Amino acid sequence: MKEESKDRKDLKVKKGFWRPGLTLNYLSFLEKKTPKNLLPLPGEGITGGAKDAHHASYLFKRFLHADRKVVLGSGKPSSIPFWKTIGAKYSTKELVHFVKRLAFLIKSGVPVLESVHLLRKQTRSSAKGRVLDGIIEDLSNGQFLSDAMAKHTKNFGAFSINVVKVGEMSGSLSINLTYLAEELHKRHVLQRKLLGALVYPAFITIATIGVATMLTVYIFPKVMPIFTSLNVTLPLTTQILLFVSNFLQAYWGTIFLAVLVSIAVFIFAVKKFPKFHYLIASAVLRFPIFGTLVLHYNVANFCRTFSLLLKSGFGVVESCSIIADSTNNPVYKEQCNLIRERIIRGERISKQMEESQRLFPDIVRHMTAIGESSGNLSDTFMYLSEHYESEVDDLVKNLSNSIEPVLMIFMGLVVGFVAVSVITPIYEITQSLQR
């Protein structure tokens, strides 16, 4: 015991985490003199597991509050006024850079408080700066980084806060931050690929509607007086186009407003009515081609996040809860909750997957069952995430080739209808004059 104390006597708790001069020898003394009912939670012995000063501080504070239940990702709301937090939310790309730099600084031996100070100096956004100022103040008052971040859940996300919390609990904060940065980076890459797959179809559709509207509203009305002056019978296609042209010219403001209101109502309904959001998400998964892309994207996210959480020290039940809270897809959110309930009842993850075969392909179900049997679930999920990330890559590359013929047919039909509606009466007038 003397040798152990001698080896650890120089390990101080950094200033800003608890108080200067607090040594692990003193923590050992407290552990000996404290009644058993006030000792730390199981597996959190003070003298046996501290890996660094920050971890020692964490264990000591948990020791003083051993009867307090820790709620991951919880925290009192920030006292910063709402209007001052506008623009403070980190995008996925910004959060990746923030976490990477924080992990590097902590890994290099820089205390957490000083690390956040350095990142604050590099922050140009005043809104983000105010958030970091609040975190610095909380750290200076002896709070944990995860607790300080939990006051700004909308800025950092519950998932990131949970990973930081477990890093503090296990004494591997820099490692967990590195894992988190990798996870967020992969999410960002997948999001860009998914959005990139939508750009081409959206551009073609908007261009087609724009060309058709221009021909109908601006070109066709200039040709129409010629037809009316000659008192010719107009073909059906021209009559339809004439009706559409007059309607658009008379009610274009109302139509534009109705489109905007419809979009706003749709977004509001998706955000405020979970059942409606669930129906839309479920319908999207059934779309040909694009539905497969969305499914593979969600499976890749599910497996990669599960792997990271297990590797970070979370249990399977906690991992399911965190994934359910962090995913934006209500269909997979429901599946995570169902998996969690089955695990609590003593069943396996693969059992729930078997009952949701449409959402979890064969390889996912079979590999998960193997991972559960071998006890190597984290590596199994990492393999599956890499597999489905490559599947997303292939689908994105092939999507334009698959959709392009359909889009070309759609464009041809719309523009062709307008062209035929204008050209047909001109041709008939020319024929009648020749007679």
Written as six digits, the tokens of 382 are 């990492």
Written as six digits, the tokens of 216 are 């109908």
At residue 405's C-alpha, the angle toward residues 403 and 410, to 5°, is 95
Name the β-bridge partners of 23: 12
Range among 152-156, 216-220, 323-327, 334-338 rated most confident = 334-338
3-state secondary structure of 23: strand
CA 162 to chain centre: 15
The secondary element (H helix, E strand) that includes residue 432 is helix 377-434
For the domain bounded by 88-185, which CATH number is listed?
1.20.81.30
- 332 Rama sector, left if φ>0, alpha if ψ -120 to 50, beta otherwise: alpha
Q: Which of 19-23, 83-87, 95-99, 263-267 is predicted least confidently?
A: 19-23
pLDDT at 327: 85
pLDDT digits (tens, 9 = 90+) for 116-144: 989 988 888 778 888 888 899 988 988 88
pLDDT digits (tens, 9 = 90+) for 347-360: 889 888 888 888 99
Structural domain spans, the chain: 88-185, 283-403
Rounded Cα distance between 50 and 164, Å, is 17
pLDDT at 435: 59
- Asked if the domains 88-185 and 283-403 are classified in one and the same CATH topology, the answer is yes
Contact between 365 and 350 (Cβ < 8 Å): yes
CA 82 to chain centre: 23
Rounded Cα distance between 101 and 316, Å, is 29
Rounded Cα distance between 34 and 28, Å, is 10
Range among 173-182, 265-274, 392-401 rated most confident = 265-274
Cα–Cα distance list, 2 to 7, 8, 9, 25, 284 (Å): 9, 10, 10, 10, 65
Written as six digits, the tokens of 140 are 């200076």
For the domain bounded by 283-403, which CATH number is listed?
1.20.81.30
pLDDT at 257: 94
pLDDT at 296: 92
Binned at pLDDT 50, 70 and 90, residue 265 comes out as very high
Cβ-based neighbour number of residue 346 at 10 Å: 6
Task: Give CA torsion, residues 350, 355, 360, 364, to 10 deg.
Answer: 30
pLDDT digits (tens, 9 = 90+) for 143-168: 888 888 888 888 888 888 888 888 88
